[in-house]
């Protein structure tokens, strides 16, 4: 049982693209028991868990985080090699998202309360950082915690001049051993908020995270690196919402019919109800048929718009026959393009990443074409040809 009379902390485990699970869980708790996050003395996180810890500490809107994550998922899936394609730069996408959403005083809000798990490259030791002098330092710390070696690149980012990699490499669930620390994990295990598993063959611990060995967790591990279809992401988010509701129920903070919510989520996606007004109307209509005499049912309106937007793009392609034709032709064309397109994409992304490593260079490859054009243009370089006589 969770004791509100004592000081408590929260810890999020790393889980890659399964971080959409945390969005669903957090939206449920923010909706029904906001004091849980507001009153926590420390919020720890590793990798994707560090992102969620930062979002909750600073107060970034969860709907914006859900939209950004669905956008990253869409970018990852549009390439034939998925996230392993050289054109997919996860670190840059995460940086762009934080740069666009973090307020100017984000480092002041986070210092002393947000604790980010890092792994130092030089000795492999775990380091917990919680003080940030500038907004850029906060961004760099989270980027270091999210850097998976080889998956995200070859050269790790730096925080205060020291290179770090994913905090999950050394401690994937920071301070989970403390008595009043509430743990979140996207994998079924012994964490306080996590999926429930009907059976398990064995239990393993990956850097402090309890993981049951079963087929469902194997799927979740694969989804951490290779995100599923939008409907799969929506289901993961839905499961996070329901598991957080169970946690609140177990601690006496919420009374609601979980099966009723799950059936409504499934109905919305099965009927292709991707319009928010339709969903709100459905919620109102179905609320009268709630058999339990508990608190009024409220649908998770934080995540549904972003999830439905991602699903709408997939279902707006036309009839089933046209989708099959498009998939067959598209796959054949993409496979034929790989032998010559992949080296070109790799070279282009190498130029982009070299430009990122050298701060003096402008971002993107456009500067290269511009420089070449200026060198070969007499008018722009100030050279005048001899007039005809």
Residue numbers annotated as active site: 47, 166
Three-state secondary structure along the chain?
CCCCCCCCEEEECCCHHHHHHHHHHHHHHHHHCCHHHHCCCEEEEECHHHHHHHHHHHCCCHHHHHHHHHHHHHHHHCCCCHHHCCCCCHHHHHHHHHHHHCCCCHHHHHCCCEEEEEEECCCCCEEEECCCCCHHHHHHHHHHHCCCCCCCCCCCCEECCEEEEEHHHCCCCCCCCCCCEEEECCCCCCCCECCCCCCCCEEEEECCEEEEECHHHHHHHHHHHCCCCHHHHHHHHHHHHHHHHHHHHHCCCCCCCHHHHHHHHHHHHHCCCCCHHHHHHHHHHHHCCCCCCCCCCCCCCCCHHHHHHHHHHHHCCCCHHHHHHHHHHHHHHHHHHHHHHHHHHHHHHHHHHHHHHCCCCCCCCHHHHHHHHHHCCHHHHCCCCCCCC
- Write the CA distances from 255 to 92, 143, 322, integer angstroms: 42, 38, 46
Rounded distance between C-alpha atoms, residue 120 and residue 126, angstroms: 6
Rounded distance between C-alpha atoms, residue 186 and residue 23, angstroms: 11
Burial of 71 (0-12, 13-18, 19+ CB in 10 A): middle
Say if residues 219 and 4 touch (Cβ distance below 8 Å). Answer: no
The three-point CA angle 201-206-210 to 5° equals 55
């Amino acid at each position: 049982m969770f004791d509100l009379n004592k000081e408590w902390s929260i810890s999020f485990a790393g889980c890659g693209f399964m971080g959409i699970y945390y969005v669903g869980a957090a939206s449920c708790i923010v909706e029904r028991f906001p004091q849980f996050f507001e009153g926590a003395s420390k919020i720890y996180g590793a990798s994707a868990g560090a992102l969620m810890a930062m979002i909750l500490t600073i107060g970034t809107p969860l709907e914006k985080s859900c939209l950004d994550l669905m956008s990253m998922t869409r970018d990852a899936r549009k390439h034939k090699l998925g996230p392993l394609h050289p054109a997919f730069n996860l670190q840059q996408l995460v940086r762009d998202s934080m740069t666009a959403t973090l307020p100017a005083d984000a480092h002041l809000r986070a210092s002393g309360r947000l604790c980010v798990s890092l792994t130092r490259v030089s000795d492999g030791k775990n380091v917990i950082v919680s003080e940030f002098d500038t907004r850029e330092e906060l961004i760099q710390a989270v980027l270091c915690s999210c850097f998976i070696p080889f998956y995200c690149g070859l050269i790790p980012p730096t925080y205060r001049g020291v290179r770090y990699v994913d905090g999950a490499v050394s401690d994937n669930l920071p301070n989970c051993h403390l008595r009043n620390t509430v743990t979140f994990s996207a994998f079924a295990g012994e964490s306080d908020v996590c999926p429930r598993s009907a059976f398990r063959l064995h239990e393993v611990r990956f850097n402090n995270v309890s993981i049951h060995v079963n087929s469902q967790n194997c799927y979740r591990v694969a989804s951490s690196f290779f995100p599923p279809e939008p409907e799969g992401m929506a289901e993961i988010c839905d499961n996070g919402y329901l598991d957080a509701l169970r946690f609140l129920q177990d601690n006496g903070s919420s009374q609601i019919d979980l099966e009723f919510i799950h059936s409504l989520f499934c109905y919305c996606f099965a009927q292709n109800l991707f319009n928010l007004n339709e969903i709100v109307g459905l919620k109102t209509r179905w609320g009268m048929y709630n058999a339990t005499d508990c608190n009024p049912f409220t649908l998770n309106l934080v995540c549904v718009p972003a999830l439905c937007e991602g699903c709408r793009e997939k279902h707006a392609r036309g009839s089933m026959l046209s989708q099959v034709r498009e998939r067959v032709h598209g796959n054949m064309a993409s496979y034929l393009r790989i032998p010559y397109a992949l080296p070109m994409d790799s070279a282009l992304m190498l130029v982009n990443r070299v430009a990122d490593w050298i701060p003096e260079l402008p971002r993107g490859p456009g500067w290269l074409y511009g420089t070449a054009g200026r060198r070969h243009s007499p008018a722009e370089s100030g050279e005048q040809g001899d007039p005809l006589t």
